Chain A
Amino acid sequence: MKKGQIISLIGIFVAIVIIVYTSSDSSYYVTFDQAVQMSMVGSSPKVHVVGELKRNENNEIIGIEKSPDYMSFSFLLVDENIREQRVHYDSPMPTDFMRSEKIVVIGAFHQGRFIADKILLKCPSKYTDKKLNAGI
């Protein structure tokens, strides 16, 4: 066999290993119910949950609790199954948090409390912001 073919075969082999590893090691977006179930079974794995902030009938965000020193806060997240969950976050509130239309939290349940390690925000762009908010 030619050396060139050997290189190609090694390349293809490693590529397949990468594909297999990537697909077997995947994490998934879950709901809070699924996350609770997962935490019941042995150790509590970290998960992604997508949701929106809890709002009242006037469309105002409710349920935000800041620690007195601003260093952490917690909020109510409503997931796709409309299950509401308090999420605790150990850092100051991210920029754009209150403006976000969708939030992804990455974290896990610890003794019944959902602690987020990371928060990703999906914000409406300024282009869809139809109201003027400055300089009037």
Chain B
Amino acid sequence: MPVYNQIPVMFHGAIGNIGHLFVITSFVAALIAAFCYWTASKENVVETKKQWLFNGRVGFIVHSISVLGIILVLFTIIYSHYFEYHYAYAHSSRHLPGQYMIACFWEGQEGSFLLWMFWQALLGIVFLTKRDKWEAPMITILALIQAFLASMILGIVIPGLNIKIGSSPFILLRDAMTDPIFQLQPLFIPKDGNGLNPLLQNYWMVIHPPVLFLGFALTSIPFSYCVSGLWKKQYSEWIKPAFPWTILGVAILGLGIIMGGYWAYETLSFGGYWNWDPVENAVYIPWIILIASLHTMMTYEASKQGLKFTIILVLAVFILILYSTFLTRSGILGESSVHSFTDLGLSGQLLIYLLFFIAISVFLVLFRWKNIPTTSKELTTYNKEFWVFLGATVLCLTGFQVFIETSKPVYNSIIRLFGAESNLAPPIDAVAYYSGFQLWFAVSIALLSGISQLLWWEKSEKNLQRKKITATTLISLIVFALIILIANVNTPIYMVLLFSGIFTIVSNLFLLYNLLKIKPNLSGGSISHIGIGLMIIGILFSAGYSKVVSLNNTGMLYNSDMGTEFNRDNLLLFVNETRTMDGFDIEFLGEFVEARNKRGYIKKTALQYTSDPYKVIAKKDILFGGKMLYNSKDTFEIYPENTFYKIQLSKNGKISATLFPRIQTNSRMGGILASPDITHTLTRDLYTHVSAPMPADVEPSWSKTEEIRVSIGKPFFVNDYVAVLEKVVPVDVSEIPGLNKQNGDMAVKVVIKVEGENDIYYAEPIFLIRNKNEIGQISSEIGELGSKLTLLNIHPETDEFTLGLNSRQKNWVIIKAIEKPFINVLWIGTIILTIGLVMATYRRFYNERSVSD
């Protein structure tokens, strides 16, 4: 008979083999698809061509199904907590909230490669069903890209050569680790996993990566079109069908980048959304070049100029995406980035991937260069193309500057390869360094986009154009003057940037007004440019005029060891004591936790902890926002890793905002982690994070013990607060945290109610008798009142109790608060940009379809 009182732990070996089989199938099928489509594209006999096309389609569909299979298997392993697999063990744990299981999937490199493959397979299917002349050459390229991606997760060792290709997500824990336990028990399965990095336990980490990788995948579409065009000598025909995908790519990649920035803003406490970290730069560069290519493609469509420039830009975008993949995943950035990378030893493979597509591009361009048609049309100053090309050139330089600086670790590696010494380091103050350049590029881009938009839609009549530009400039100057008066912008470069942002908005509003009257479906471009103008102004105010508001007004130094900055920018708050900050009354109202199954914050003082850190008992009824969460004595689960510090801001007695900045303690990840809470108002964000919590592992200094005798129901004073001993309750010793029950242990606790300023607290000191004569006392602390109560003795003869009282400094927290003015303008600008781009994409797709019909 099987024993049911123990959960049977089964070793799931088969599922990983199925997953690995899918990986191998996806790799092989991608290669077969590439080969069949390649043969098909060269074949001229209709029947044979059809046959090869059919084979190619089958190959690509098998590949796509396998990719889906890998994803489903890997997700099953994570979701079912099969910790015998390294991926589940390394990235997940039993206590991880369900929605973050998705984030586990792409915490590892293998999962993020899979995400990229998934989108690209889906896009491939779109082209497969179109069945036009581009299908064969395009999917040849796409399938090759997919084969390279699949090789990254192949996890196969070439026999004889001892070369490992790829890192499989289905590797067993016992193969990944050398822990001796696996020699004793090969079927050993750990009870719990390592857990997800607390930084990634955020809903933006659930949506940001899919959007970003869709952006990555979209850049391969214009690339494949362009390569096909060069290959099949259709030098310019590819631009029209590639165009809508390029616009969509700009929208999605841009959205992905901004979402990443928003995640950083909400989760990391560096005080902003953009840090010019190499990892951020690596995707910023291809996005900027993608925008440049979008503009030259448009110019080519309109006036057949700049084909060579367009081809180079389109090829460069995808190569830059591969370069960014190489930078962020090969470990080469190691010393220069705050992000820590898991180097899977794929750097060689990644380099081959990059070089392969560089070689294809360079080879095709050189081979076909002479045959690429050019025009002899002259660009003139009043020619709209002139301004767009100038804009595209500035965009290229914008990307180039970041590229040159971010690539420093690559120069070091190359120079060291030749035996020389190179120790180039990234800039000391990256934000100041990059902003110094990028500010001027932003000014140029804003002004050029304003001017070229005015000229674009106008038949070139010089006088009318001059008039329009003058009128736009005048209106912009008026708006500029008004904003300067209100917002007090006085740094010269910021004034220039502000004006250029306004100029592009005004000129595009002009255009939008005219377009709405005649061709409203063409307005996507002008709407996008308004978005860009708003983003520039939003960045200018939120970054340029970001201000620390938590200035230390106590005149006291927290720690003389530390620099002046820390002491100036941070505010020390004792619990329930009001301070002033930036015109607000600010108060720290205690430490809170979150329940596992209910929304809302629960005060730590209302909880009785048990021997299981995830399980607590309510000491009293728990309310949140007027709603009853738990009744007294309810047992429920919490997330013990997170502590929320309730910070309340009020003005004239009225509550303006309640903030819950968070501290995560994660011993496995090592140390503590602060995440901010942000109050959003129309004109500014107030960004608050804990810069130092009260240390948990240092015993505070208590006053000398004061002994008092009390009896049930009679009030007494604890640290000047009224208290009363309510009752005596027997305690089950096995329920006391940190105590091993022994035979004959007996324990009681007294429940003491203390009335504080804002809250009622319960202290429950325990009195323990072991072996009939050994006495133990477990004190109970009320940190918010700075009090500790100990049950020193019980006097059954008089029904009295002796209590020991100690006092200390009340609980405290040190916070930093930063004001981000008009940050909403940036987010609104992003949304408007995306709307404009999606409108333009839709119109182009619609156009393409109506033409082909």
Q: Which of B176, B396, B668, B695 contacts A11 (CB 8 A)?
A: B396
Q: Which residues of A contact B404 (CB under 8 A)?
A: 18-19, 22
Which residues of the partner chain A approach B193 to less than 8 Å between Cβ atoms? 134-135
Minimum Cβ distance to chain A for residue B773 (Å): 38
Task: Evaluate contact between B335 and A122: CB separation under 8 angstroms.
Answer: yes
B690 to chain A, nearest CB (A): 9
Residues of chain B within 8 A (CB-CB) of A69 are 558-559, 692, 694-695, 814
How close is A125's CB to chain B, nearest CB, in angstroms?
Answer: 4
A14 interface hit (Cβ, 8 Å)? yes
Instruction: Please measure, in the bound complex, the distance between the C-alpha atom of A24 and the C-alpha atom of B337, giving whole angstroms.
Output: 22
A127 to B168, CA, bound (A): 12
Nearest-Cβ distance from residue B349 to partner chain A, whole angstroms: 16
Q: Is B693 an interface residue (CB 8 A)?
A: yes
User: How far is A116 from B83 in the complex, measured between Cα atoms in Å?
Assistant: 40
User: 1/0 contact trace for A99-126 toward B, CB 8 Å?
Assistant: 1001010100000000100001111011
Contact indicator B83/A135 (Cβ below 8 Å): yes
What are the residues of chain A within 8 A of B383 when measuring CB–CB?
3
- A125 to B341, Cβ gap below 8 A? yes
B755 neighbours in A (Cβ, 8 Å): none
Surface stretch bound by B, among A27-35, A36-44, A52-60? A27-35
Inter-subunit contact B695/A134 (CB<8 Å) = no
A-B contact pairs, 18 of them (CB 8 A): A2-B379, A3-B383, A11-B397, A26-B408, A27-B428, A48-B425, A67-B562, A68-B695, A69-B559, A70-B692, A90-B562, A90-B565, A92-B692, A95-B666, A95-B671, A104-B335, A135-B190, A135-B192
Would A102 and B335 count as touching, CB distance under 8 A?
A: yes
Interface contact B344-A127, CB-CB below 8 Å:
yes
Q: Are A3 and B378 CB-contacts (below 8 A) given A132-B181, A134-B93?
A: yes
A82 within 8 A of B: no
* A71 contacts B423, C-beta separation under 8 Å: no
With A7-B393, A27-B425, A135-B83 known to touch, is A96 a contact of B669 (CB < 8 Å)? yes
Chief secondary structure at chain A's binding surface = mixed
Interface residue? B186 (CB, 8 A): no
CB contact list, B26-51 vs A, under 8 A: none
Q: A135 to chain B: which residues have CB within 8 Å?
A: 83, 190-193
| Interface size, chain B (Cβ < 8 Å) | 72
Assess the B424–A26 pair: CB atoms within 8 A: yes
Chain B residues within 8 Å of A81, by CB? none
Q: Are A7 and B389 also in contact (CB < 8 A) when A104-B335, A127-B342 are?
A: yes
Q: Which of B393, B691, B695 meets A91, CB within 8 Å?
A: B691
18 further A-B pairs in the complex, CB-CB below 8 A; given A4-B389, A130-B178: A3-B380, A7-B393, A18-B397, A18-B400, A18-B401, A19-B404, A26-B424, A68-B698, A70-B694, A71-B562, A90-B562, A92-B674, A97-B671, A106-B428, A122-B334, A130-B177, A133-B194, A134-B668
For B572, give the chain A residue with the smallest CB separation.
A69
- Among A19, A30, A71, find the residue whose CB has the most chain B CB atoms closer than 10 A: A71
Judge whether B670 and A71 touch: CB under 8 Å: no
Closest B residue to A131 using CB positions: B179
B712 contacts the other chain (CB 8 A): no
Contact A126–B194 (Cβ < 8 Å): yes
Task: Enumerate chain B residues within 8 angstroms of A102, measured Cβ to Cβ.
Answer: 334-335
Q: Within 8 Å CB of B693, what residues of A?
A: 70
CB distance from B548 to the nearest CB of A (A): 15
Q: Is the CB of B424 within 8 A of A28?
A: yes
CB of A112, distance to nearest CB on chain B (Å): 14
The smallest beta-carbon distance between A119 and chain B, in angstroms, is: 9
Q: Which residue of A lies closest to B195 (CB)?
A: A134
Residues of B355-390 whose CB lies within 8 A of A? 378-381, 383, 386, 389-390
